Each structure stands twice: as structure tokens, then as C-alpha cells.
Amino acid sequence: MGDKLAPTILVVEDEPAQMELLAYNLQREGYNVVRAENGEDALLLAAETGPDLMLLDWMLPNISGIEVCRQIKRKKATSHIPIIMLTARGEEDDKVRGLDIGADDYIVKPYSVNELMARVRVTLRRSRPGSVTRELRHGDIVVDTVKHKVVRGDKKIKLGPTEYRLLLTLIEHPGRVWSREQLLDRIWGSDIFVETRTVDVHVGRLRKALDIPGSDDPLRTVRGFGYALE
């Protein structure tokens, strides 16, 4: 298991050798890798794990890469996930179609690993500013991602490690509504069994810690679904 705060990348590739190459290089760069060998698994895992980025092979059995991309971009819960499509050389029309249906970038096979990693970094800089930026701000809340310190206004906020991860996740995507399952997966990892109401407990603690006189409650509860930082 990698660092839970590191960006998570969902790799969708049906050829085992290609998958190994991608997973090896991404993990070496410090990313968490989630693997899907087909479109069906890709759609499930995208919704379940809320990855920071998807690398999506064009040619997949059954559901094609383009159909996976279309479905990811159509659903509210997954439409924010950036997608880099992996296409075979010469399929110029495919590239255009891919960008038309909402893919954020594409790279042509056989690709150079260095080029792919550079594209991944650029895309993540947009989707996970906390992985490349030291300070994150939202209103009067400031998170120092190096020292793991939080300030609201001029008050230091003391947070436990779980509340800190929760705030970091929320502040990286202000306004985005996270389901309890997505927060569980992001903060505790999918390999640990934690009940969804545990999320509510920690959100309650975070809310209390951020509560300073004269300030609004920045955490919005979306009934029956999850939470957002507003």
C-alpha cells in the first residue's frame, strides 16, 4: 500500500505487459495505482475509489475506452476525473473523437515513459493542487501541506491525523460533493473495513475544530450522500 495522501491513478489496460509497465513506473513516481483490466471494472472502480486521474486504453474488450470515457464524463460523481487516453499510432480520428467526448489528453502508443509521466504531472497539477503546492487556501482556512499545519483566520487549528486528511481532501476540491464511500476509500484505504458512519464522526470532529467565533460552518452535509467544503 502506498501513501494515502499521494494521488491515486486508475489504470485501465487489458494487456498485462502494458499494465505492468504503467503500474511499475507510476508507483516508482510515488502514485497509488488502482488496476482495471476491462471497461466494466473501470466504471465500478472510478465511482468507488474516486481516482485523481485515469489512464484509459482505447482498445478494450466489450466496453471500449471511448464508451468508458463517455460514461465517466456523463455521471456527476465521476465527471471531474481527468482522463488521459492511450491510443495506437495513426488513429488520428480517435484522438479527435476522444477529446470531443471529454478526454483531457491523449498519448500515442508506443509512448515514451518520460513523456507519459510528464503528462500525468501536468494533469495532476490541475486536479490535485495539494500534491504539487505547499499551501492550500479556502476562504480563511489555510493548510500547509508540508508542515501539516492548519490555520483559520489567525487561529491555529489542532487536528488529528484523520481530520487532517479529511480537510486536505476537501480543500483540494472546494465545492465538490464527496460520497461517504469515496471519503472512506481516500482516507482509510479500500483494504480496511470501516463503517460509513465513521466518516460522519470524523467530519463532526473536523467541523468542531474549525468552529471559531464569528465564522460560518464551511462543511456542507448532503443528506443521504456525503459532504462538501463550501
The string of DSSP letters for 85-124 reads EEEETT-HHHHHHHHHTT-SEEEEESPPHHHHHHHHHHHH
Nearest residue relative to Ca ion (C-beta): 59
Cβ neighbours of 147 (radius 10 Å): 9
Q: Does 57 bind Ca ion (CB under 5 A)?
A: yes
**Binding window for Ca ion (CB under 5 A); candidates: 52-60, 97-105, 106-114, 156-164:** 52-60
**Binding window for Ca ion (CB under 5 A); candidates: 26-34, 56-64, 110-118, 198-206:** 56-64
Considering only residues 6 to 45 of the shown chain, the ones binding Ca ion according to CB under 5 A are: 14
**59, 108, 117, 142: which one contacts Ca ion (CB under 5 A)?**
59
C-beta of 14 vs 105, nearer to Ca ion: 14
Q: How far apart are CA 69 and CA 188, in angstroms?
A: 27
Q: How far apart are CA 79 and CA 81, in angstroms?
A: 6
Task: Name the pairing type of β-strands 105-109 and 135-138.
Answer: unpaired
Minimal distance in Å, beta carbon 168 to Ca ion? 35
Q: Is 75 left (phi over 0), alpha (psi -120 to 50) or beta?
A: beta
Contact present, 3 and 30 (Cβ < 8 Å): yes
**Binding window for Ca ion (CB under 5 A); candidates: 55-63, 96-104, 119-127, 199-207:** 55-63
Minimal distance in Å, beta carbon 65 to Ca ion? 8
Q: Does 47 bind Ca ion (CB under 5 A)?
A: no
Binding mask 173-192 for Ca ion (x = CB under 5 A): --------------------
By C-alpha distance, which of 76, 74, 210 is closest to 155?
210
Q: Interface with Ca ion by CB under 5 A: which residues?
A: 14, 57, 59
